[in-house]
Amino acid sequence: MQNIQEKPRYTGDIAEEVRNREQEYTAVTQEITFSDEQHAIWAELFAGIHQPQLLEHICGEFMIGLERLQLDPQHIPTITHLNEHIEPHTGWRTERTAVRYTKAEDWYRKFAQRIFLVTDYLRSREQIKFTPEPDMFHDIFGHLPYLTMDFYARIEEKFAPAFLKASDDEREVIKRLAWYSTEFGLVVEDNRLKIFGAGIISGRGELNNTIMELYRLDRDGVVNTNEPVYAQICEQFERHKADVDRIIDGINRLHRQGQMSSQEQGWNVIRTLYDELGIDHSGYFGGEVLLAPFEIDYIARIPKTVYAFNPIFFVFESFDRLAERLDSYLQPIAHRR
């Protein structure tokens, strides 16, 4: 009888994948044929997110990039199509990979060459609303519209030079900085909180939950949209920092115990954590996700959540400020001799 591999108890990284390097794609095997069912899943994923009531909460740069990328709503694009619509704008290109979830070292070596890897894996119908692993829809629909934009290319180009010179501990911080910015970051646009991260955009469950939290902040009077929104997020965070510290410590404990290893857990487990810590489910803590300013010291402490919804999202007031904060940590490492 075949042994079924248990899901790893620590969910900060995808389980080790045993693969034959000879199965990796080459320059002449980049284009592959997808089944009608895979194209149908792509179409359902695309239609499920490409709705006005959802798109209005995503930052404007994504919408510009999506127009530039010219994706077919009914069919998975070829690598040739992607490169024809990305490379003229930013000089970046894509390559196909057989890796289900690219190891950071592989990823950043490709980043150093201005190459974005696109997996050949597509989620199943059972994972339409949430997939525990980044799939090709996440890679293409979530990230690649941005890769037609200079500001995003410059952000991505910051990570590899630092990662390749970093210590093991620094690499963990760099991975978390990328996770909570390009994957699960929020930005202020026209004094509104807008979704930036590709992980939120490409996952219908996480996208809907995030939008509901944005509505809740206004409904419950946590944020007054007639006043500067980012300053209010910072003020709420500073006022409740002691409890935020306790929550982050609790999340790390739950993570190590494997208690955030599924969609059903993730955000939902935070409710139980609040109860354990005696934190009232109201005001700043009234939702299923905390919003915090993009502070590197805090991002360095919160684990990447791959198999579950993320319990904290970090907000930056502009893309210029995000770039400055990333530089403050990454540039000294990148310039190290």
**Where do you find CATH 1.10.800.10 in the chain?**
21-170
- Average pLDDT of the segment spanning 42-49: 97
pLDDT at 5: 37
Given a cut of 70, whether residue 3 has pLDDT beyond it is no
Q: ∠ CA(281), CA(205), CA(314), 5° rounding?
A: 60
pLDDT > 60? residue 7 = no
Pairing type for strands 93-97 and 115-119 reads: parallel
User: pLDDT tens digits, residue range 61-90?
Assistant: 999 999 999 999 999 999 999 999 999 999
- pLDDT of 10 > 70? The answer is no
pLDDT in tens, 169-216: 999 999 999 999 999 999 999 999 999 999 999 988 889 989 999 999
pLDDT of 248: 92
Contact between residue 92 and residue 115 where contact means Cβ atoms under 8 Å apart: yes
pLDDT at 306: 63
Beta bridge partner(s), residue 116: 94
Neighbours of 22 (CB within 10 A): 7
Interval 273-298 mean pLDDT: 92
Report DSSP letters for 117-154, one per residue: EEES----GGGSS--SS--HHIIIIIITTGGGSHHHHH
Q: What is the pLDDT confidence band of residue 296, given thresholds at 50, 70 and 90?
A: very high
Q: Given a cut of 80, is residue 51 above it in pLDDT?
A: yes
At 9, the pLDDT band (50, 70, 90 cuts) reads very low
Lowest mean pLDDT across 99-108, 124-133, 280-289? 99-108
Which residue, 143, 120, 155, is CA-closest to 31? 120
* Mean pLDDT of all residues belonging to the chain: 88
Provide the pLDDT for residue 319. 97
Q: How many residues does the chain have?
A: 337
C-alpha dihedral, 143 to 326 to 289 to 318, nearest 10°? -80
Instruction: At 320, list the tokens.
Output: 């210029």
In this prediction, residues 217-224 reach a mean pLDDT of 94
Q: What is the pLDDT of residue 264?
A: 55
pLDDT at residue 25 in the model: 87
For helices 150-163 and 104-112, give the axis angle rounded to 10 degrees.
120
Instruction: Give the span between the Cα atoms of 246 and 92, in whole angstroms.
Output: 41
CATH 1.10.800.10 fits 21-170, yes or no: yes
- The 3-state DSSP class for residue 42 equals helix
pLDDT, residue 288, reads: 78
What would the two tokens of residue 2 be? Answer: 């075949």
pLDDT at 331 over 80: yes
**CA–CA dist 206, 45 (Å, integer):** 13
Banded pLDDT at 94 (limits 50, 70, 90): very high
Instruction: Give the residue, 314 or 22, on which the prediction is more confident.
Output: 314
**Tens digit of each residue's pLDDT (9 = 90 or more) over 227-282:** 999 999 999 999 999 999 999 999 888 878 776 665 555 556 677 889 999 999 99
Among 13-17, 159-163, 266-270, 284-288, whose mean pLDDT is lowest?
13-17
- Residue 8 has what pLDDT? 42
Burial of 196 (0-12, 13-18, 19+ CB in 10 A): buried
Burial class (CB in 10 A: 0-12, 13-18, 19+), 146: buried
Q: Report the relative pairing of strands 192-195 and 312-316 from DSSP bridges.
A: unpaired
Order of strands, sheet of 185-189, starting from the edge strand that comes earlier in the sequence? 192-195, 185-189, 312-316, 290-293
261: helix, strand or coil: coil
Is the CB of residue 96 less than 8 Å from the CB of residue 106? no
| DSSP E strand stretches across the chain | 93-97, 115-119, 185-189, 192-195, 290-293, 312-316
129-166 confidence digits (pLDDT tens):
877 778 999 999 999 999 999 999 999 999 999 999 99
Please give the Cα distance from 185 to 51 (Å, whole number).
21
